[in-house]
Amino acid sequence: LSTLRRYTMSAARTLLAELRDDRGNGASRRLRHQGKVPAIIYGAGREPRALMFDHNKVLRELENASFYSSILTIKVGDKSRAAIVKDIQRHPSKKQILHIDLQRIVEDEKIRMQIPIHYLGEEEAIGVKIGGGSVSRLMTEIEVSCFPKDLPEFLEVDISELELDQMLYVSSISLPKGVEVSEILLEQDQAIVSIQEIKEIIEEEIIDEDGDTEGESSDDQASTDSSDQESSDDSSDTSESDKSEG
């Protein structure tokens, strides 16, 4: 099975930040009401620093999926620092960013990042076009380790030659130079994509044909029992009458 895999190097993005002194939930709520996003930056052997960003600008950046796997340039005044996103907290029901965690990076230290996998050739895949199957993306991102300069923005996997009931695995991914996946991922060697037969599930309506019959029988039996009881009562009344006349 021949597959083509490409990668695109991560492009630097710049975010303007401001330092903040207030800490705690109350201070964070006030910042959000002012249209700001509280954040913290840590790592590289330095003390954590509390920051804040313009909320609307952050939302616009997040519309691009590559933001999560990019090297960010955090600019505060005339100073800049390279960092990566480690965590983003969102409001459960509103389109609102609650908090951002950033990690400082240095050129000579490796970083670990979740990198998106983009699948190419899905509609042209042999298993789809000829086999009539459906593509199942079992893994949409993978954790890699590399120096910042080697960080790919995403990986592309061409599955146009993948046939029906075939799979690709973690071990079959050709990573760019300087990029590695963990030994645990290689040992587990999970499937990342497959093409499976489309199975139709036909739900049959189960009709209890005996239901009405049983109901009618019960009603008939009840009617018969009632008639028998009435006959018994009539017989009893007749017998009492006979005795009186006697």
Q: What is the pLDDT of residues 129-139, one digit of tens each?
A: 999 999 999 99
- Residue 236's SS3 state is helix
pLDDT for position 64: 87
Kindly state the average pLDDT of the residues 183-194.
94
Kindly state the average pLDDT of the residues 153-176.
92
- pLDDT of residue 127 exceeding 90, the answer is yes
pLDDT for position 68: 87
Q: What Å distances lie between residue 8 and 5, 58, 63, 95, CA to CA?
A: 11, 23, 18, 29
Instruction: Band the pLDDT of 242: cuts 50, 70, 90.
Output: very low
Kindly state the average pLDDT of the residues 34-38.
96
User: What strand order describes the sheet that includes 133-137?
Assistant: 133-137, 191-197, 167-169
pTM (two decimals) = 0.68
pLDDT for position 224: 47
Q: Is the dihedral of CA 190, 155, 176, 127 positive or negative?
A: positive
Q: In sequence order, what are the beta bridge partners of 12?
A: none
Q: In this predicted model, what pLDDT tens digit does every residue of 78-125 receive, in sequence order?
A: 999 999 999 999 999 999 999 999 999 999 999 999 999 999 999 999
Euclidean distance between CA atoms 2 and 166, whole angstroms: 12
